[in-house]
């Protein structure tokens, strides 16, 4: 077994672990700082909306010897607006100019024909109205609202409302960061960007639901034992799926990184940037929020319940009494100790996050036959 696999097995059994939940105020602070930066960037710079949202014209030329930078200069001088020029695979150019009506587009087409030395009828000019982009945006917002509503309802039924609230906050966190990065980087927002934003929602929830499922199993009959607080069980559930979360996130990020850095950066396929940036940032933010935001939030909400407050008092009192007697961690019911028999739900509560008990030579009873 690889070192990573061995580490994952030890994390699952509770032999090692990192206390994510106890340090939740650090993660909350980091997330708040990143979110504020994203919101400020969005407010100051705004989004670089594509032609589909602002309206304009797209001119597609056949193969030409004119460079991209020179064609951009020609288009901007002819239109008086910023132009985006991309080189096509056949050697032609795609020239995009925002905020042009039909009359202005015809004049720009004629000017480009003269400057590029290409007949007017060989340049394909398309007028894009802003209403089309508005329709896409409105449908995207509608789909996003319906998706979040269904997620909250499902999680509230399958788990509980606290987990649904935590997952919703994590989703909003991921979307805010992704949109803020678009504003700070200045990438063009196109329908591809909208598709990417909607796609990351499922990835963002995947790891969160996996942890929640383990937490649900691990916290059964939790009030019938005095070994763990809810936060400790939440942390053990999180550690148990940590390596799995890292593996799935890295595997998902690698092809997206190829699209973004190689396809969009090295090869210059600018249209790939629209969807790949939103996927890359969204996947990374989703992995972060599932580990550092969603589960600690659930623990925070649950620890406010009277039952969980009483449980925490009993657990701490038991540990303090054991420490006063000089007992070991196992005797005190420390989170690394073996399940004790003084609480009816003790083994059931810890079994999902501690792992199976082994006695004797691997037989459940430890007896020799």
The overall average pLDDT reported for the chain is: 79
The answer to whether residues 69 and 30 belong to one domain is no
Residue 22 maps to a domain: yes
Q: How many CA atoms lie within 13 A of 18 on its CB side?
A: 10
Nearest CA to 199 among 282, 262, 131?
282
What pLDDT, in 10s, does the model give residues 208-220?
Answer: 888 888 888 888 8
Residue 320 maps to a domain: no
Query: Last residue of a domain, which of 259, 286, 302?
Result: 302
Residue 176 maps to a domain: yes
The answer to whether residues 143 and 223 belong to one domain is yes
The answer to whether residues 32 and 158 belong to one domain is yes
The answer to whether residues 30 and 106 belong to one domain is no
Other C-beta atoms closer than 10 Å to the C-beta of 325 total 9
Which range of 23-37, 114-128, 235-249 scores highest in mean pLDDT? It is 23-37
Instruction: State the pLDDT at residue 363.
Output: 43
Distance CA(238)–CA(246), nearest Å, equals 12
Residue 204 maps to a domain: yes
The answer to whether residues 264 and 159 belong to one domain is yes
Residue 332 maps to a domain: no
Range of the domain at 277: 3-49+132-302
DSSP classification of residue 127:
E
pLDDT band, very low/low/confident/very high, at 313 (cuts 50, 70, 90): very high
Other C-beta atoms closer than 10 Å to the C-beta of 284 total 20
Residue 150 maps to a domain: yes
Residue 307 maps to a domain: no
Between 295-302 and 161-185, two packed helices, what is the crossing angle to 10 degrees? 140
Nearest CA to 278 among 144, 188, 178?
178
Q: Provide the pairing of β-strand 188-189 with 48-49.
A: parallel
The answer to whether residues 16 and 157 belong to one domain is yes
Nearest CA to 73 among 121, 112, 19?
112
The answer to whether residues 203 and 109 belong to one domain is no
Per-residue pLDDT, averaged over 335-351, amounts to 39
Per-residue pLDDT, averaged over 235-247, amounts to 84
Residue 121 maps to a domain: yes
Query: Last residue of a domain, which of 273, 302, 331?
Result: 302
Of 268 and 203, the structure prediction assigns the larger pLDDT to 203
What pLDDT, in 10s, does the model give residues 137-147?
Answer: 788 788 888 88
Q: What's the CATH code of the domain at 25?
A: 1.20.1640.10
Distance of CA 6 to CAs 9, 126, 200, Å?
Answer: 5, 58, 30
pTM reported for the whole predicted model? 0.74
The answer to whether residues 264 and 182 belong to one domain is yes
Tell me the β-bridge partners of 97.
Answer: 57, 83
The answer to whether residues 148 and 257 belong to one domain is yes
Tell me the β-bridge partners of 86.
Answer: 94
Instruction: Tell me if 209 sits within 8 A of 232, measured CB to CB.
Output: no
Q: What's the CATH code of the domain at 98?
A: 3.30.70.3400
Residue with tokens 């009277």: 306
Count of structural domains, the chain: 2
The answer to whether residues 10 and 121 belong to one domain is no
Other C-beta atoms closer than 10 Å to the C-beta of 287 total 23
Query: Last residue of a domain, which of 112, 128, 144?
Result: 128
The answer to whether residues 203 and 182 belong to one domain is yes
Instruction: State the pLDDT at residue 361.
Output: 42
Instruction: State the pLDDT at residue 201.
Output: 80
Other C-beta atoms closer than 10 Å to the C-beta of 309 total 13
Which range of 113-127, 169-183, 231-245, 333-347 scores highest in mean pLDDT? It is 169-183
Q: List b or e across 191-226, with b for residues whose CB sees 16 or more CB atoms inside 10 angstroms.
A: bbbbebbbebbebbbebbbbbbbbbeebbeebbebb
**Coil, strand, or helix at residue 83?**
strand
The answer to whether residues 248 and 152 belong to one domain is yes
């Amino acid at each position: 077994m690889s070192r990573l696999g061995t580490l994952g097995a030890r994390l699952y059994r509770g032999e090692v672990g990192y206390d994510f939940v106890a340090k939740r105020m650090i993660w909350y602070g980091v997330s708040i700082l990143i979110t504020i930066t994203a919101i400020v960037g969005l407010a100051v710079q705004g989004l670089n909306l594509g032609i589909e949202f602002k309206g304009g014209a797209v001119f597609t030329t056949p193969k030409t010897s004119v460079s991209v930078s020179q064609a951009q200069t020609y288009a901007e001088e002819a239109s008086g607006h910023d132009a985006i020029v991309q080189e096509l695979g056949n050697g032609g150019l795609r020239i995009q100019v925002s905020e042009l009506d039909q009359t202005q587009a015809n004049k720009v087409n004629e000017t480009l024909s003269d400057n590029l030395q290409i007949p007017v009828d060989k340049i394909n000019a398309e007028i894009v109205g802003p209403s089309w982009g508005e329709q896409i945006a409105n449908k995207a917002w509608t789909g996003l609202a319906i998706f979040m509503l269904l997620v909250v309802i499902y999680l509230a039924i399958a788990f509980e409302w606290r987990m649904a609230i935590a997952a919703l906050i994590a989703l909003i966190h991921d979307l805010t960061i992704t949109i803020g990065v678009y504003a700070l980087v200045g990438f063009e927002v196109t329908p591809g960007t909208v598709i990417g934003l909607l796609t990351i929602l499922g990835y963002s929830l995947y790891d969160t639901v996996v942890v929640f499922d383990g937490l649900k199993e691990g916290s059964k009959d939790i009030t019938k034992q005095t070994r763990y607080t809810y936060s400790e069980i939440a942390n053990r559930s999180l550690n148990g799926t940590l390596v799995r979360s890292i593996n799935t996130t890295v595997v998902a990020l690698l092809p997206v990184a190829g699209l973004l850095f190689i396809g969009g950066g090295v090869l210059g396929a600018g249209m790939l940037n629209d969807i790949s940036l939103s996927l890359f940032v969204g996947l990374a933010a989703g992995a972060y929020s599932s580990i550092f935001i969603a589960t600690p939030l659930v623990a925070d909400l649950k620890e406010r319940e009277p039952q969980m407050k009483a449980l925490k008092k009993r657990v701490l009192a038991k540990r303090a009494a054991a420490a006063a007697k000089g007992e070991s961690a196992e005797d005190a019911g420390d989170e690394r100790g073996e399940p004790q028999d003084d609480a009816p739900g003790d083994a059931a509560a810890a079994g999902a996050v501690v792992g199976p008990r082994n006695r004797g030579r691997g037989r459940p009873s430890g007896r020799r036959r």
